[in-house]
Structure 1
Amino acid sequence: MTVANGVEIFIIANADTVMSRSSASLAAEVYPNVPITRPLGEHETLPSIDKARRVLGYEPQHRWFRHNSPTASASYLAYQIRDACAVTVVG
């Protein structure tokens, strides 16, 4: 992605998912051809919020997994990723 000089892009999302399955197994099902480049926490969100944590000191205040639904589907994960990736902070 090309951005103007001085612009930073961050993903602001929750740290975890609402899914009862592990993030690694969901990623393998929904995105079978996308390589996993680092270890994932059991219910870690797939869009990385590491840059926001490092640069902005961002830390989510609430956890999705506490409110998880045992019937949540893998397709919900795809919507969560799509929505989280659509959020950018331009400064």
Structure 2
Amino acid sequence: QELARVRQGSPEVTGVAVRLLQAIATLLNSPHSGALVMSMHRSHFLACPLMRQLCQYQRCVPQDTGFSSLFLKVLMQMLQWLDGPTG
């Protein structure tokens, strides 16, 4: 529903996608980061639709640089953790 509103020209909508991305970013900066990354890595049926939804939101609202920046930061943190866990 949120993506539909954004696609219809309501880029001011800051709902589920933004809060979800903020929650993931917060978890990645917590002691639970490894568990989060590994559970997303193992559970593609949950992680893929979630990340796809966030990616589609980012593509629909490219002018939201705060969201885009946080989205890329989250992706990089996850990839870095998978490449070489620290902790």
TM-score (norm 1): 0.28
Higher helix share: 2
Q: Which has the higher contact order (CA 8 A, sep 6+)?
A: 1
TM-score (norm 2): 0.29
